[in-house]
Structure 1
Amino acid sequence: MAKAKKTISDLIMEYFRKHPKKELQHGPVVDWVEEQYLKLYGRKPRDIWRGIRRLYQEGFLIKVRKGVYKYDPDLIQKKELHDFPPDVKEAIFKKDGYKCIVCGRGKEDGVEIHADHKIPLDKGGTNTIENGQTLCSEHNLLKKNYSQTEFGKRFLIRLYQEALEKNDKRMIKFCEEIFDVYDKYGINSHIKRPDRKFRESK
């Protein structure tokens, strides 16, 4: 079995775990991660600083002040009590083929994956395989910021815009019909659907 690739997030957390509870400026972290990534893959990594910010947004790092973060294993342990147990998390990843259910990317693509609760624990969800789904860091963060239906609509808007660029009439029609369903039931009307220039030009 091929050894799993280390992602930029893996390397960032590796550095912070080596310096627990220390206030670290982002500069030395970025330098170390870049050095390790070059050794592993022979090329420079992209957006290390963005990766640090994302790990803070996801609750793995603490922001002390601008450009300074720290890792506190005690706080992370408390956070992990609310996460899926390791065996359940592994079963969720296996169920989804170790790939994000939205974009299809996984660790083989150098992308961090997460076991996400379909129904959040604070809304009655459980730490079960059935309530779990695999998301990459990008889509996990999107879902944390929005509800399930908001997340779906925003992703649909992205699909629609890509379909317009490619003039994919079948996908454009599909997306517009889903937007009609959102409108019919008054779901997430605060998120404006894209304009209908394509429909009006037909």
Structure 2
Amino acid sequence: MYPDIEIHTKDVVDWVSSKYLERTGKIFRDPDRGIRSLYQKGFLQKIAKGVYKYDPKYAQNKRQADFSSAQKNEILKRDGYKCVICGAGRQNGAELHVDHIKPKDMGGLATIENGQTLCSQHNFLQKNLKQTETGKKMFIRLYELSKKEENQELQEFCIEILQTFENFNINGHIEWEK
């Protein structure tokens, strides 16, 4: 309705709640969840905490879907049917997942290049950035992807993060190349 305008969540909630009441005569119970769902499905872009933007071109990008079965199989095969972080595979009893390197909610696409194989443990742990080893490996893979995509801004961001790991001697055993 308002393309390319950054709108605060509270303003959207007020507008949606009033329109819903006007059209249905009922109270909209959880507009925040609805906004979050639109964001997670790729229809809204998150600009900052509580600020979203609708960009019709971004919303029409249906490649932000989950990986297809064929893509999952290709990613698993490419990664040797092993977790890219710890090396565990099915032969070790690990449950394997195919995960987005650059998350969908950050614009990551369902492409072979943006996929990685993770064991279930690391798939769940990688969401917790307190796991410094997982975090460093994730930024290394994101950096490599940004080089392939020729995304200079993302490359610079990853270099700064990885340099911080080095500056504080965190996980020095994990090496990366600029």
Query: Which is richer in helix?
Result: 1
Shorter chain as denominator, the TM-score bin is 0.3 to 0.5
* TM-score (ref. length: structure 2): 0.40
